[in-house]
Amino acid sequence: MVPVTSPLPTNRAAASIAPRARTMAPVFHELTLFHGSMGAGKSTLALQNAYNRRQAGRPGILLTSMDRAGSGVLSSRLGVMADAIEVTDSTDLITLIAGEVPSGGFVIVDEAQFLRVEQVEQVAWAVDELCVDVDCYAIATDFQSLLFPGSQRLLELADHTVALQVEVTCWCGRPGRQNARIEDGRVARFGAQVAVGDTSDAADVTYRVLCRRHWREGELGPE
């Protein structure tokens, strides 16, 4: 017997918002995931892409969650920043996008690893039914090297996934792919999956990119 699978879950907003007329080929709207370790330039690229699209006359919005610079801000470690809409666990992204972004517009989501699984499904629905492009920028794995639920669902649903190629290295020179959480001078092994660090409000929590070997051994290198 072939198992019967249910369609992707939707919410009340999806049921109450009429899909827009779909754009005909060869133009299709897409959900794209850009992912990389800390320092790979995700937020910088998000800001650059938003700027370029607005310069081309396309309407769109920037979304973020728990940015290091505070609520409602999308910031890059290079010092560039822009106002953004803060997404919380209770944010209904279908309602938000339907109200803020016209057909043919764009949505940029930074810190997309913090999206709930349901919210990832909402942005996928918005791409298909509201005729918008959605770009998500995310760290794939947490400090224990486990996929964030939001990142995992994006990997499963995205039309395209792009691994950022900016060089990020461990102190030893090997490729840095593990996002280590540092607490009390040691690599943390336990704790909540989400703990925003490198801010004035989280002085005891910092993050550092390590290679797999030195993350496993907890070796932070010479000071």
Please tell me the predicted confidence (pLDDT) of residue 55.
92
187 forms beta bridges with 182
Among left, alpha and beta (phi > 0; psi -120 to 50; other), residue 145 is left
∠ at Cα 120 (83, 143), nearest 5°?
Answer: 80
The better pLDDT of the pair 106, 15 is held by 106
Question: pLDDT for 69-85, tens place per residue?
Answer: 677 777 777 777 788 89
Residue 170 to residue 181: CA distance in whole angstroms: 14
Q: At which residue do the structure tokens 């280590």 appear?
A: 180
The confidence band for 10, taking pLDDT boundaries of 50, 70 and 90, is low
Print burial letters for 35-69: b (CB count within 10 Å at least 16), e (below 16). bbbbbbbbbbbbbebbeebeeeebebbbbbbbbbe
How much is the mean pLDDT over the chain? Answer: 84
Please tell me the predicted confidence (pLDDT) of residue 200.
44
- Mean of the pLDDT values across residues 82-104? 93
Report the predicted TM-score, pTM, of the whole model to 2 decimal places. 0.79
210 phi, psi to nearest 5 deg: -125, 160
The sign of the dihedral angle between the CA atoms of 168, 172, 177, 179 is negative
Q: Are 88 and 65 in contact (CB under 8 A)?
A: yes
- Mean of the pLDDT values across residues 28-41? 88
35 phi, psi to nearest 5 deg: -135, 155
- Mean of the pLDDT values across residues 29-41? 89
64 forms beta bridges with 86
The better pLDDT of the pair 59, 28 is held by 59
Burial class from Cβ neighbours inside 10 Å (0-12, 13-18, 19+) for residue 150 reads: buried
Give the catalytic positions in this structure. Answer: 111
Please tell me the predicted confidence (pLDDT) of residue 76.
76
Question: pLDDT for 111-120, tens place per residue?
Answer: 999 999 999 9
Beta strands across the sheet bearing 178-183: 186-187, 178-183, 205-210
- Reduced to 3 states, what is the DSSP secondary structure of residue 122? helix
